[in-house]
Each structure stands twice: as structure tokens, then as C-alpha cells.
Structure 1
């Protein structure tokens, strides 16, 4: 257990850190995914996913409150011993490496399709690694400041969708509002993964200055993500017909093709270029988490050393293995499964165990 004073983050940074992780790459494909599962009632599973993610987030906060200066690895060591603590840190490194690699690979594929089709993936990975290392090497406080800056920097971007809807929109696409309720509820499983990102609270809670506001902060972060998801999804539903929306891989970008000005035609390219800032707030915290867990596991060196090592490793993978959308989709499905278990099922188990642990410990003390 370490003292994290000196690298603390504010409540605003904590909120935008979680919110930035959540919206990431999922926004670009989310309208198509929910339309395939629930039709034009796809906004219903989004609300259900928000409820479940908020409950899981509050459970994590309750777990962390019992050991406010401890990360998940420290808590696992307290509950189960040093060996399990070490194993948990290894599992977290594997989890964060899969998540960060999957997300950054997806971002590279988007860039190759829309912006730089002739540039090899390892070159783009190298270009990503430079700012990622510069930001993440200074710790969680700088990452939190960066997430806060990006949030305010991209507040104008919804205007793109408002302009597109002014040229083409049909509200009748949403009718009836409550069609296939059972099918919509069943589609909740595909939306809860869109809210993944709050699980970083297991690591970043000790860095939060005002821990009393942690529950409120994580609810605000989830709510901001829900507003973004609802806005983008409903905008795509109104713009595209029910049959048309499933034909576009990234409908959130495709609908922007109708936005043109005299001085520039392809506004979706400009949108994606600025959206790279949002994408970076997704993979940077995960890559730092991987380095942070490595530092805890080996108890020597600095996080920035492991960070550099992992970035070089990712570049080498991109060099020898050419990424494709089918490969990335398979990796994304795997990440979503383990992410759902880690973020939703594991906190429930740990909360029950912690209750039993302190109950037995209290009796022994008496």
C-alpha cells in the first residue's frame, strides 16, 4: 500500500477521465449496433445500460470506501494474501493490455479508412505513441487534466450533427416509441459494454482528492456518456431509415457527408481529425493503468519505464501483424466479455466477500 498524495486528481478530472474512456470508439458504431439488436427502439437499451453501469459503479465505490488509500491490488492482498494480490495484478495487466491494444488498433483502422489509407499501421502506432508517452509518463494527474481539456475542447462538435439534421431528418423513424419492449430489453447486453471504463475506479480512487463525492462523480460521468450516446443514436435514427442505418459500418461519420461548405467539402474528415482527441482519452488511461499495475507488481522502476516498453511492444505487433476490421471485431468481442465480467460481476462478488470478511474480522476482534 502506497501513499498517493502529491499525484491527486480533482473531482472534475475524475469525472472527465471516466467519461472520456467510455465514449471512445464505441460512439462511431453504436447506432448501427443497437439498431441491429432493437431497431429504432435502440435508445431504450441505452438507458437500461446506464442504470446497470451506475449500479456497478456505486458497488465499486462502496468497495473502495473501506480501504480509501488502496488500489484493487492492495485490496486483493488484504483479503486473500500476497500471492493472490500478485496474481490479480498480472490479470489486470493482461486485461488492460488487451483493452488498450484493441481500442488503439480500432482507432488506427478508422484513420486508415477515412484519413490515411496508404500509411502502414505501425507508422500510425508510432505517431500515437509519442503524445501518449508524453502525457501518460507524468502520471494520473496529467492524464486527468488532459481529459478535462479535451472535454471542453470538443464541446462544439455536436454542431456537425445539428447541421446534418437540418438538411435531412424524419422524426417518424422513431415511431412507435415503445415498439418491441422485450427485444429492446434483451439488447441491453450489447449496450452495457459501451459504458465500460468506470472499472478504472479500482485503480484511480486513491488519487481522488474529495473521496466523499466519488459516488456523485461517477454517476455524473455515466450520465454524460448516456447523453452523448442518446444524442448520437437518435440523430442517426432520425437521419437514416430503419433499413438504411444497418448498412453503414460507422453511421455517425457517414451522416456527416451531407455537410458541405464552399471552402471545404468532406466535413466528416475534419470531424474525425478532431475526434482523435476523444479517442486518445480512451486508450491513454488504459495504457497508463497497465504500466501502473506493472510497477506495483515488480515494486521497482517507474511507471514511465513500463509505459515506454509497452508502447514499443505495440509498435512491434503492428509491424508483424497487419490489423483488419474482422480481426479487431473478434478481439473486441473477447474484450467486451471479460470487461463485462470484470466490471459488473466481479464487483458484486467482491462486495459480498468484503462484507463477510469484515463481519468475521469484527467478531474475532471482539
Structure 2
């Protein structure tokens, strides 16, 4: 309890930027293709629907935060269930968050290899990436949030490049039809929705926030920023390429940027993708941090500070060795774990809400 009270609290501005990094990542370069395949014509509008679902999910999380008086999800869970019953549950969540963070990084490395280092084995780049992740993890969530702000200022200018697409942009390419010529399966909608995941990590930030943090407001604003950036990018892509072209491009945003010509730089698409490293790194760090926090709760009596990091290192190694180093395989596994995380994002707040309501009915208050 004393440790919780002594924790530094996150500022509102830093929390908002960090939340935005948790949501957005390398998926943005292939998002127009996902929309064209799964949603169809004017697929960019589906992002507004997915954003609304994410906002509703954050509303559920806000109920947990208010009813629980800012207590951690571990304290809330343990108030109703013995720890031996919770250990397997949170152990699975640890693995899920650690593997998600690893796969996000691995996907980026494999794309980077195919674009810039075709003859280099991806393991070398992946190991360097994970070293950066672990170095950031050792600094704690306060330093991570400050680094997120610095990274934000480095990459925010990328969206200004969309201005250069106006000459070839044509509204007629979008047609007057909505959501046509696509599969419209539940899996397809989930493929699009998981690009918004990351907001659920605010569940782990309860002990690091107070009334000045405005935690849920920060994540709601971050969700709006993510929605704007996704929608702008997809809207421009749908007006720049035809639906058929988008459905047959692996990374439509990089193809779009390849048409941009600047007097001082020839390959702007390569530069933008390399800078995307900051987003991917922060997303991977935040999922890994969530896993570390859970491991520390699972092993509270350990006086060895390095044990959680050793445990966490197993998951990146597993994703490197067990999952084949082909981009298609990595995307397949990332999709499977993404579907699972989408379920966790909804079911975990509901689980916590049930516990809180039962405790309130029994007369237990969280001071």
C-alpha cells in the first residue's frame, strides 16, 4: 500500500501522447488495404465505427476506475478472489501482453528487412530492437511517457506529407457506394478494429494516476487523435488509388508516399517508414511494461529486481524461434493474438466491474 502511495503520478499531457503511441503503430501503412478488403468502397468511414466501439470500451474502463477509487486491477481482483485462483489468469495475460509486444516489433523488423536490408538476417535487427525495449523498460513508466512525448514531436510532421497528394486525389474514385465489393465478415471487421487496440493498457495505469492525470480523458483524446490520423490517411489513400489497386497493394501508404517528390529528398517513403520505428518501439515497450507489472505482482516476494526482465525475455526469444521469420506468418500470429486481446479489452473491465459491484453490495468501500 505504501509503495502505491509513493508512486509518481503521470501528467495529463504525457499520458495523452503515450496513449496515442499505444494505439498507433506500423499497421497504418497497410490500413487502407485492410479497409478495402474487409469493408469495401468508402471503407475509411468504418474507422469511425471502430473508434466509437473503442470509446465505449474506455467508458467501461472509466466505471472500473471510479468504482475502484483508482486501485490497481490486481487489488480489485484479489478483494474478491484468492490469489491462487488469479495467478493462472494473470499469468496468461502476462504471456499475451509480452508476445503482443514482441510480435509488433517483429512485424516491423521483417518489413524493414524486406525494404532496406534484404540480405540481412532479421534476427540481428530484432535483437537490437529488443535491447532498446529492455533499456526503456528499466527506466520505468515515467521516463517512458517522457520519451513518448519526444518521439511524438519527431514524427508528427509526417501527416503534412498528405498535402502533396492533392494533385492526384479524385473523389470519384471513392464512388457513391458505401461498403461494397468486400467480404464483410466478423473476422474482417475485427482485423480493422484491432488497429485501435492499446487503449486497454490504461487498466495498468490506475496506480500511476490521480485527479490531475485525467486518465480516461487522456485516453479518450488519444483515441480521437488516432481516429483522425487513421481516417485522414485512409481517406487520402481511397481518393488516390482505386479500390482494386488498394486491394492488391501490400503497403498502400508507402506506395502513396513514393509518389511524393521533395527537392531535398528522393525516397520520402523510406524516411517515413524508418521514423515509424519510434511508434512501434513505444507500442512494444508499453505492452512489455504491462507484462512486467503483472510479473511483479505474481512474484511479490522476490528481492531480485532482474527476475521479471529475465522472465519477459523468454517471450521475445520464443516469438523469434518458434514463429517462422516470414512476414505472412508473423502477421497471422499477430492477428490471432490481436483477436484475443480485443476480447480481453472488453471482458477484463466487465470482470472487474462485477467484482466491484459485488463488493459494493456487500458494503465494501475503497478508501
Common fold by TM > 0.5: yes
Q: In structure 1, what is the Cα distance between the partners aligned to 2:69 and 2:89?
A: 19
The residue aligned with 1:129 is: 130
Query: Aligned pairs, how many?
Result: 362
Instruction: Show structure 1 runs of 5+ residues with no match.
Output: none
- Matched-pair contact (CA < 8 Å) for 2:39–2:180: yes
Q: Deviations over 1:19-60 (max 9, x none)?
A: 101111221211111111121221222111111111111111
The residue aligned with 2:169 is: 169
2:343 pairs, out of 328, 335, 341, with 341
Higher alpha-carbon deviation: 212-221 or 229-238: 212-221
Q: In structure 2, what is the Cα distance between the partners aligned to 1:181 and 1:149?
A: 42
Sort the Cα spacing of 1:326 and 1:9 in 2 relative to 1 into closer, same or farther, 3 A.
Answer: same
1:227 aligns with 2:205: no
Q: Deviations over 1:185-212 (max 9, x none)?
A: 9664333212111111111121013367
Q: In structure 2, what is the Cα distance between the partners aligned to 1:16 and 1:177?
A: 36
1:1-366 correspondence to structure 2 within 5 Å: 2-3=3-4, 5-163=6-164, 165-176=165-176, 178=178, 180=180, 188-210=189-211, 213-299=214-300, 300-301=302-303, 305-307=307-309, 310-311=312-313, 314-315=316-317, 318=320, 322-359=324-361, 361-362=362-363
Q: In structure 2, what is the Cα distance between the partners aligned to 1:349 and 1:296?
A: 18
Sort the Cα spacing of 1:317 and 1:237 in 2 relative to 1 into closer, same or farther, 3 A.
Answer: closer
Q: Deviations over 1:90-139 (max 9, x none)?
A: 12211112211211111111111112222222211221123222222111
Q: Deviations over 1:243-290 (max 9, x none)?
A: 101111111111111123454322211111111111111111111211
Please state whether the residue corresponding to 1:50 is helix, strand or coil.
helix
- The offset of 1:181, in angstroms, is 12
Sort the Cα spacing of 1:317 and 1:175 in 2 relative to 1 into closer, same or farther, 3 A.
Answer: closer
Q: Deviations over 1:38-88 (max 9, x none)?
A: 212212221111111111111112112233443222221112222233233
Give the RMSD, CA atoms, in angstroms.
2.6
- Matched-pair contact (CA < 8 Å) for 1:68–1:206: no
Please state whether the residue corresponding to 2:80 is helix, strand or coil.
helix
- Matched-pair contact (CA < 8 Å) for 2:94–2:291: yes
Instruction: Show structure 2 runs of 5+ residues with no match.
Output: none
Please state whether the residue corresponding to 1:260 is helix, strand or coil.
coil
TM-score, normalised via structure 2 length? 0.90
Q: In structure 2, what is the Cα distance between the partners aligned to 1:265 and 1:303?
A: 47
- Matched-pair contact (CA < 8 Å) for 2:10–2:213: no
Q: Deviations over 1:201-256 (max 9, x none)?
A: 11112101336722322210111110011011111111111110111111111111
Q: In structure 2, what is the Cα distance between the partners aligned to 1:29 and 1:182?
A: 16
